[in-house]
């Protein structure tokens, strides 16, 4: 548990230390956070090469899925901290923001490692509560609305989670996953289904999926760019691995696979259709996030029926982390441009940034050779292999549909302005560098997918 200890310890250090530092030295908190994340990533990489282990009497799993989430979360939060160097450096709440980000990430890691429903609840609360404060830091009407929606939905689905855990505990006589796997098969189907809905709803809230998705577009639009990048990326890592672990112990007597498949279709379709009409790039990316959650649910729907399910899910999560970070970093590089048409002329003024925009958006679309293309391809293959060919068809159709709204942002960037002149497009250096590096990482991960697949396949 050293990676979790490092991240949580860094959060406590930054929170307490920041209380005694003058405002012009709050950047030390970012250094401490980055050092802890690098250490956690290195430790996770070493543990990933070793055998699977458990802690706390088997309630905390350390396996391939855990390792991938630890590394991806560290990379994702490092990118968020880099963008924060432009946006919140010198702010009155700088150290508190870093601490909240670290605490939320610790909750995400606990979610991913949970092999017991009580540990799952703990991770959910730790990952959720800091988000309410982070989203409300924008101090705007949009930020307040987003924070209120997030809080109300988080509280609602938190109650549903506790209710679902209580029902499953009553049905199985315990909360440990191996015990659930052995006892739920003989439990009343209605009770198991009710418990599943409670747990599934809470994890979909963390992931930002239908029907718990309403807060995602508002948070993406109204929160600080740093926070928007975080909430649309890192929490999904823990939520989806937790979903996979829960799905793996459910009995075949209930149609949980069909339920998750239908939610995947709803997420893909609704996210893509809603993104069509958005002119604010961050809100468009928020709806794009909802659609990406739909794609990520596809391998969860065939867990236990296809050997490709878990590796494709883990690869897609890593690919999405890099690609989504690149897209949001572009929006934080040019924070004043809150309309897609305002990017007109970007390619001529900032060609590297325009290139990162193309890679990020076509990457989210799933265009080769980006990493998300491999993720979608393996996801569809897992659905086909698992006897859910209809899900593979829906993935393909929705991918084609999403092309058009991504092009709505790309095309203006390569057009000339009306007067033939091009604005300077004053950029933020850390955000611009993050966008370019993350876009390059998405390409590299796609090209080197074969090597990474060996790792995620265990």
pLDDT in tens, 306-339: 999 999 999 999 999 999 999 999 999 998 889 9
2-21 confidence digits (pLDDT tens):
999 999 999 999 999 988 88
Asked which of 37-41, 347-351, 405-409, 420-424 is least confident by mean pLDDT, the reply is 420-424
The residues spanned by each domain of the chain are 256-458
Residues 6+ apart with CB under 8 A from 21: 28, 29, 95
In this prediction, residue 251 has a pLDDT band, given cuts at 50, 70 and 90, of confident
Asked which of 29-38, 141-150, 248-257, 391-400 is least confident by mean pLDDT, the reply is 248-257
Q: pLDDT averaged over the chain?
A: 93
pLDDT score recorded for residue 86: 87
pLDDT score recorded for residue 331: 93
pLDDT score recorded for residue 423: 58
pLDDT score recorded for residue 93: 85
Q: In angstroms, how far is the first alpha carbon of the chain from the final one?
A: 20
Angle at 106 between CA 260 and CA 80, to 5 degrees: 90
In this prediction, residue 421 has a pLDDT band, given cuts at 50, 70 and 90, of low
190-231 confidence digits (pLDDT tens):
999 999 999 999 999 999 999 999 999 999 999 999 999 999
Q: What are the C-alpha distances in Å from 65 to residues 71, 162, 238, 372?
A: 10, 25, 10, 18
pLDDT score recorded for residue 139: 83
Q: What 3-state DSSP class applies to 193?
A: helix
- Is the pLDDT confidence value at 422 over 80? no
Mean pLDDT of 137-164: 94
Asked which of 372-376, 377-381, 414-418 is least confident by mean pLDDT, the reply is 414-418
In this prediction, residue 419 has a pLDDT band, given cuts at 50, 70 and 90, of low
> Which of 322, 270, 327 has its CA nearest to residue 293?
270
In this prediction, residue 418 has a pLDDT band, given cuts at 50, 70 and 90, of low
**Helix or strand run (H / E) with residue 7:** helix 2-18
pLDDT score recorded for residue 122: 96
Per-residue burial over 83-102, b if 16 or more Cβ lie within 10 Å, else e, is bbbbbbeeeeebbbbbbbbb
Residues 6+ apart with CB under 8 A from 267: 209, 210, 213, 290, 291, 293, 294, 295, 297
- Is the pLDDT confidence value at 253 over 80? no
Residues 6+ apart with CB under 8 A from 345: 413, 415, 416, 417, 421, 422, 423, 425
In this prediction, residue 420 has a pLDDT band, given cuts at 50, 70 and 90, of low
Distance separating alpha carbons of residues 425 and 427, to the nearest angstrom: 6
Residues 6+ apart with CB under 8 A from 2: 40, 43
Distance separating alpha carbons of residues 262 and 445, to the nearest angstrom: 30
- Is the pLDDT confidence value at 453 over 60? yes
pLDDT score recorded for residue 424: 63
Asked which of 80-84, 90-94, 226-230, 429-433 is least confident by mean pLDDT, the reply is 90-94
CB 185 within 8 A of CB 251: yes
């Amino acid at each position: 548990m050293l990676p979790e200890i490092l991240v949580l310890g860094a959060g406590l250090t930054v929170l307490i230390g920041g209380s005694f530092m003058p405002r012009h030295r709050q950047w030390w908190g970012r250094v401490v956070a980055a050092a802890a994340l690098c250490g956690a990533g290195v430790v996770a990489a070493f543990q990933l090469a070793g055998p699977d282990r458990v802690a706390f009497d088997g309630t905390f799993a350390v396996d391939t899925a855990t390792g991938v989430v630890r590394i991806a979360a560290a990379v994702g939060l490092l990118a968020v901290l880099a963008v924060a160097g432009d946006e919140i450096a010198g702010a009155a709440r700088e150290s508190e923001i870093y601490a909240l980000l670290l605490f939320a990430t610790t909750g995400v890691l606990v979610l991913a490692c949970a092999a017991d429903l009580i540990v799952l609840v703990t991770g959910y609360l730790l990952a959720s509560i800091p988000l309410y404060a982070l989203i409300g830091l924008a101090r705007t009407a949009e930020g307040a609305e987003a924070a209120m929606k997030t809080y109300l939905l988080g509280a609602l689905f938190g109650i549903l989670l506790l209710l679902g855990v209580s029902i499953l505990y009553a049905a199985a006589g315990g909360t440990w996953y191996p015990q659930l796997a052995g006892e739920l098969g003989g439990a009343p189907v209605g009770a198991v289904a009710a418990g599943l809905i409670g747990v599934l709803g809470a994890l979909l809230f963390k992931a930002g999926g239908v029907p718990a998705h309403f807060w995602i577009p508002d948070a993406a639009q109204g929160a600080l760019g740093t926070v928007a990048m975080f909430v649309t990326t890192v929490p999904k890592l823990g939520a989806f691995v937790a979903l996979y672990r829960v799905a793996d112990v459910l009995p075949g007597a209930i149609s949980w696979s069909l339920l998750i498949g239908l939610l995947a279709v709803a997420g893909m379709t609704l996210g893509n259709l809603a993104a069509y009409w958005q002119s604010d790039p961050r809100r468009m990316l928020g709806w794009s996030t909802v659609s990406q959650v739909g794609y990520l649910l596809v391998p969860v729907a065939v867990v236990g029926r296809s050997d490709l399910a878990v590796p494709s899910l883990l690869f897609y999560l890593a690919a999405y982390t890099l690609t989504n970070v690149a897209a949001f970093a572009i929006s934080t590089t040019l924070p004043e441009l809150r309309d897609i048409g305002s990017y007109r002329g970007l390619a001529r003024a900032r060609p590297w940034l325009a290139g990162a925009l193309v890679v990020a958006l076509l990457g989210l679309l799933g265009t080769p050779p980006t990493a998300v293309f491999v993720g979608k391809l393996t996801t569809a293959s897992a659905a086909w292999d698992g006897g859910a060919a209809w899900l593979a068809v829906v993935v393909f159709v929705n991918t084609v549909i999403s092309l058009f709204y991504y092009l709505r942002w790309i095309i203006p960037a390569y057009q000339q302005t009306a007067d033939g002149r091009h604005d300077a497009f004053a950029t933020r250096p850390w955000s611009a560098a993050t966008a370019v590096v993350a876009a390059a990482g998405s390409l590299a991960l796609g090209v080197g997918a074969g090597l990474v697949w060996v790792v995620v396949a265990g």
